[in-house]
Chain A
Amino acid sequence: MAAIEPMEQFLVKKVLDLPPVPLPGLGPVDLSINNSVLFMLIAAVVIVGFLAMAARRELVPGRLQAMGEMIYGLVDGTLTGAIIGDRGRPFLPFVMTLFLFIAILNFLGLTPLVGFTATSQLAVTVTLAVMTFSIVLIVGFARNGLGFFKLFWPSNMNIGMALFLSVIEFISFIIRPLTLAMRLFGNMLGGHIVMFVFASFIVAMGTFALNGGLASLGFVGSALSFAMVMALLLLEMVVALLQAFVFSILTCIYLSEVVNLDHGH
C-alpha cells in the first residue's frame, strides 16, 4: 500500500501551462494557471453568476433573489450596519465580497475527489489579510490624518500607564494581518488533515480486516471511522461558513475602529 500522505491534498499543481510573461521591473514571471488559481476563478464565476441571477429586482422575489437578499441582509444587518454603524455603508461591497469569496472557496474545498481548498494556501490568506489591513490603514489616514495615532493612545490614564499600554496596543495592531491570515489558514489546514487521517483509517482498518479471523473486527473500526468522517464533514461545513463570517466580522471591527475614531464608538 502506498504511504499515506496527508499533506498531498494541499500540493499546488499546474493545470494550464502558460509561457512566462515578462513584467516591467520583475523580469519573466510564471503566470501559469495552477489549481489554486483555478478554484479561485471558479469561486469568482460562481459568485458573479449567482449575484447576476439574484439581482433581478422583482417586486415578489423568486428563490434566488430571496437568497441574495438574505445574504445582503446578513452582511448589512449583522456586519457593517451593526458594527461600523451608519458610516459602514461604503464598506458593504468589500465586506460582502470577502465573505462570499472565502465562504465559496471553503465550500469548494469540501467537494469530494476534486476539491482543492485555496484558503489552505498561506499565499491566498495572506493576500486577503494584507489587502484588508492596507484598506484599514488607508481609510484611517484618509479620514483622520495624523489623528489616526490616537487609536493607540488610551484616554483617562496617567502618562506612564498610557505609554506602556500604547506599546501593547501598537503591537496588537501590527500583528493583525498575521493573525487574520493564520486563523483562516490554520483552520482550513487542520480540518482537512483531520478528515484525511480519519478517511485513511477506513482503508487501513478495512484492508487489515481482510486477513480474516479475529482481524475482521477491523470492519467495526472502519465503520466507526466512516461515521467520524461524516461527522467531521458536517463540522467542516460549519467551520467553512464560520471562518468566512469571522474574517469579515474582524474586518468590520478593524474598520470600525478607524472610521469611528472621533466618536468614541
Chain B
Amino acid sequence: MDINAAKDIGAGLAMSGMIGAGAGLGILFGNYLQAAIRNPAAAAGERSNLFLGMALAESMGLFAFVMGLLIKFT
C-alpha cells in the first residue's frame, strides 16, 4: 500500500478517539444540567468543577487529535 494512503487511513482512525470525548462531554453536561434543574441553588457553586471535568474529558479527545496530526504530518 502507498505509504501516504496508509498515513491518511491511520490519521482518520486515530480520530475515532473523539467518540469517547464526545460521549464523555455529553454525559458530563447532561448530568450537570439534570442536577442544576433539580437543585438550582447549588448549580453555580459546581460550575468550576464542571469546567474542570470538561477539560479532563476533552483532553482525551485532544490526545487523539494530536496523534492524528502526528501521523498525518510526520
Contact = CB atoms under 8 A, between A and B. Distances in A.
B48 A179 contact: no
Chain A, interface size category, equals: 10 to 19
Interface string A239-265: 000000010011011001000000000
Contacts of A256: 48
Secondary structure dominating the interface of B: helix
B27 interface: no
Which among A78, A186, A256 has the highest number of chain B CB atoms within 10 Å? Answer: A186
Interface in B25-64: 44, 47-48, 51-52, 54-56, 58-59, 62
Interface of A: 78, 82-83, 172, 175, 178-179, 182-183, 186, 246, 249-250, 252-253, 256
Interface of B: 44, 47-48, 51-52, 54-56, 58-59, 62, 65-66
Contacts, number: 36
A179 B62 contact: yes
B48 A253 contact: yes
A186 B54 contact: no
Contact of A183 (B47, B48, B52, B62): B62
Contacts of A178: 62, 66
Nearest to B52: A253
B37 to A, nearest CB: 20
A179 B44 contact: no
Nearest to B50: A249
